Structure 1
Amino acid sequence: MSSLALSVLLSLVSAVAYAAGAIVQERVAATGGGGAFAPLRDRVWWAAVALNGVGALLHVVALACGPLSLVQPLGALTIVFALPMAALLVRRRAGATAWRGAVMAAAGLSGLLALTGHAKSHALRGPDQLVLAGVALGAVALLALVAAAGVRRPVVRSVVLAGAAGIAFGIASVFIKTVAVAWTSGAVVLGLVAIAVFAAAGTLLSQAAYRGAGLTAPLATVTVANPVVAAVVGITLFGERFRYGTAGTVLALGCAVVAAGGLVLLVTERLGAERNGAADGGLPGADGGPGAAGAPVPVEPVARPLPPVLPLERLDRVTFGTGNPVGPRAAGRGPTGRPVRTPPFRP
């Protein structure tokens, strides 16, 4: 097998691993208890962390075997792979709007990454590392505070948290490159600390983002925000540019718009599902369909009201299918009004 084919295969397996990890994280968020650190006590959540670690490792190996312009765009397929995998593994099917949003986000991100120039080896100096870490931590903390205190709708809150997680992961990638370049100089302690802090923050924030927002919207937000933040840092701090000059920059902006449109579709799809849930009383599966865990929710039978009780003075106007009025005025009379002889009762 050639190195190019191996890099493609590893990239696809990496995207599948990332998608599986995201599905497990979403299920832990949907079925687990509250609290920011509650997933740390869940073995299933650690399986999701392991899947994400495998995906990251395969992605690094794929970058070593193939060109960056091919491997990076293939990583965007995580969003597309997650939809059929969720339908197969947890029986959560996505609608047409979610599919369109996922495809748009993946296509836009793929084009943006393909137009990103080949990153050269750069290393941040100590003061630059402190400034970048401080600004990034401030942005992540601000988004987390906004999501915790200022956003009430679960979907919008989850997207804000996913954006904060994407920033954390993107900054962690920048510090990973810095540590890899400056490893021989010995000045890597600050970079290692920054990697640990931002990777942990991104993992916890992404886990919190899956609570109450489904799978696709938070996953797409994290997947898009991560490389975009890394690209912005490369352009602003390292002087990197898009490929093909001005035309490549215009195309990259167009791809960014397409990716943003995909994210908007995914968010509006989740908002529509949230409104439908509120119309059904806020209960998943209120129409007898699948609930939050995919199991059918029993619907309580609706009791029919009892017929009204007629007063005694109106019983003489009621007939019971024989044409004979029943009541005190019609006692002892037949259909024509003639007296009717009633035989005596014999036990």
Structure 2
Amino acid sequence: MSSLALSVLLCLVSAVCYAAAAIVQERVAAAAPDGGGVYGPLRSAPWWGAVALTGLGAGLHVLALAWGPLSLVQPMGALTIVFALPMAALFARRPVGAAGLRGALLATGGLAGLLALTGPPRTESLSAAERPILAGAVLAGVALLMLGARRARRPVVRGVALATAAGAAFGMASVFTKAAAEDLAHGLGAGMLVPTLAVIAVLASAGMLLSQSSYRGAGLAAPLATVTVVNPVVAAAVGVAVLGEDFLYGLPGGVLAGLAGAVAATGVVLLTFRGVSVPEGVGRVPVARDGAGSDSGPASGPASGPRPDPAPGVRPRPRIRPGVRPRGRCLVPAGRAEGEEGQG
């Protein structure tokens, strides 16, 4: 088996592991109480199972990077969402639908075209001067995205911003992983290897926590698709611009590879907008209904639900809303008891 074929096989198994981990993460986020906070999932056994699956997928991904180019290995990560949707339909009873099937076919076809145009792997690695620049740039970008997410009011917008930061962190972590693999292959000393491994640990941990936070209130589809698109875009851009990776047939092959990547990205976007999945019970406010069945506003305590009918011969008291003057009666200031209406 050639090194390129082995790299593709490892990418497939890694994508299955990542998809399973994402499904577990989203279910943990949906089941967590609103006050659980960022560290609430740390007390969940299924969440640690997702961490184990993510670790296995990351290990296989590292091996794939050792035998394949960044411009191929990272776009193959788009198979994560292709695998995640049928797995979610099987285990979480979420139907994929026709749009989901079309998106999966587009993503798979685009990746197949990209695979056919990928050139042989290169052994070029990041230089000592390039590594701190790339690390500082991605960390600054992640910090800005986190600040933007804190100001976002809609859960989906917040989730996409955090997922973008997670995808950038994961993509750059793969770039440094590729560099570390080349360092080991060339027998370089610990002076370059240890700082590179430290950067990988920081970026991978940040990506894990950010991706977990992105699922809260935003469902599975939009954050996972965002990570799936941003991750390979960041890594492949660095691979082509910095590491000198290229495609077959020169410039025409590069153009065709770009078109194949656009087809794959279109499939991922179609998978995203096939319907954002918001977990049941997240972000919903119970409402009280009057006798006609129309929503009358948020529920509060035991007053929720239909109002009982008055006893025969008893005239029902009109409901008074704070700040509204009823006709023919004096205004009762907010906060005074009903029995005080006739006083003053």
CA contact (8 A) 2:124 2:244 kept: no
One-letter amino acid of the structure 1 residue matched with residue 178 of structure 2? K
CA contact (8 A) 1:147 1:158 kept: yes
Aligned-pair CA distance for 1:101: 3.4
Match of 1:145 in 2: 147
Match of 1:185 in 2: 188
Cα distance change of structure 1 residues 11 and 231 upon mapping to structure 2, 3 Å threshold: closer
Tell me the distance in 1 between the aligned counterparts of 2:26 and 2:44. Answer: 13
One-letter amino acid of the structure 1 residue matched with residue 120 of structure 2? H
Match of 1:331 in 2: none
Tell me the distance in 1 between the aligned counterparts of 2:38 and 2:92. Answer: 24
Unaligned runs of at least 5 residues, structure 1: 284-301, 311-347
Aligned-pair CA distance for 1:3: 8.4
Cα distance change of structure 1 residues 180 and 260 upon mapping to structure 2, 3 Å threshold: closer
TM-score, normalised by the number of residues in structure 2: 0.70
Deviation per residue, 1:150-204 (Å, 9 max, x gap)? x222222212211111110111111112122224222222211110110001111
Cα distance change of structure 1 residues 222 and 116 upon mapping to structure 2, 3 Å threshold: farther
Q: Identify which of 177, 195, 200 aligns with 1:195.
A: 200
Cα distance change of structure 1 residues 221 and 189 upon mapping to structure 2, 3 Å threshold: same
Q: Secondary structure at the match of 1:250?
A: helix
Match of 2:290 in 1: none
One-letter amino acid of the structure 1 residue matched with residue 251 of structure 2? T
Q: Identify which of 267, 273, 286 aligns with 1:268.
A: 273
Tell me the distance in 2 between the aligned counterparts of 1:123 and 1:2. Answer: 21
CA contact (8 A) 2:21 2:53 kept: yes
Q: Max radius of gyration: which structure?
A: 1
Tell me the distance in 2 between the aligned counterparts of 1:4 and 1:109. Answer: 14
CA contact (8 A) 2:99 2:274 kept: yes
Deviation per residue, 1:100-127 (Å, 9 max, x gap)? 3344344435544554433412232332
Tell me the distance in 2 between the aligned counterparts of 1:218 and 1:120. Answer: 32
One-letter amino acid of the structure 1 residue matched with residue 216 of structure 2? R
Match of 1:31 in 2: 31
Tell me the distance in 2 between the aligned counterparts of 1:226 and 1:118. Answer: 21
* Percent of pairs with identical residues: 60
Match of 2:161 in 1: 160
Deviation per residue, 1:63-103 (Å, 9 max, x gap)? 66789898766543221221121122122233333443344
Q: Identify which of 206, 225, 231 aligns with 2:236.
A: 231
Aligned-pair CA distance for 1:220: 2.2
Match of 2:224 in 1: 219
Cα distance change of structure 1 residues 86 and 43 upon mapping to structure 2, 3 Å threshold: same
Tell me the distance in 1 between the aligned counterparts of 2:8 and 2:173. Answer: 24
Match of 1:19 in 2: 19
Q: Say what the alpha-carbon RMSD is for the aligned residues.
A: 3.7
Tell me the distance in 1 between the aligned counterparts of 2:172 and 2:6. Answer: 28
**How many residues end up aligned between the 2 structures?**
290
Match of 2:49 in 1: 47
Cα distance change of structure 1 residues 306 and 263 upon mapping to structure 2, 3 Å threshold: same
| Larger RCO (CA under 8 A, 6+ residues apart) | 2
Tell me the distance in 2 between the aligned counterparts of 1:105 and 1:244. Answer: 23
Cα distance change of structure 1 residues 67 and 178 upon mapping to structure 2, 3 Å threshold: closer
Q: Identify which of 239, 248, 251 aligns with 2:253.
A: 248
Match of 1:313 in 2: none
CA contact (8 A) 2:29 2:212 kept: yes
Tell me the distance in 1 between the aligned counterparts of 2:229 and 2:73. Answer: 15
Tell me the distance in 1 between the aligned counterparts of 2:197 and 2:159. Answer: 28
Tell me the distance in 2 between the aligned counterparts of 1:20 and 1:222. Answer: 15
Deviation per residue, 1:249-305 (Å, 9 max, x gap)? 22233233333433443443445x67xx99x9767xxxxxxxxxxxxxxxxxx9699
Match of 1:87 in 2: 89
Tell me the distance in 2 between the aligned counterparts of 1:204 and 1:39. Answer: 10
Tell me the distance in 1 between the aligned counterparts of 2:63 and 2:16. Answer: 15
Tell me the distance in 2 between the aligned counterparts of 1:133 and 1:68. Answer: 17
Cα distance change of structure 1 residues 2 and 164 upon mapping to structure 2, 3 Å threshold: closer
Q: Identify which of 128, 131, 147 aligns with 1:129.
A: 131
Deviation per residue, 1:206-264 (Å, 9 max, x gap)? 11111122222222221222222111012222233333222222223323333343344
CA contact (8 A) 1:122 1:177 kept: no
Match of 1:56 in 2: 58
CA contact (8 A) 2:239 2:245 kept: yes
Tell me the distance in 2 between the aligned counterparts of 1:103 and 1:218. Answer: 20
Unaligned runs of at least 5 residues, structure 2: 287-304, 314-344
TM-score, normalised by the number of residues in structure 1: 0.70
Match of 1:299 in 2: none
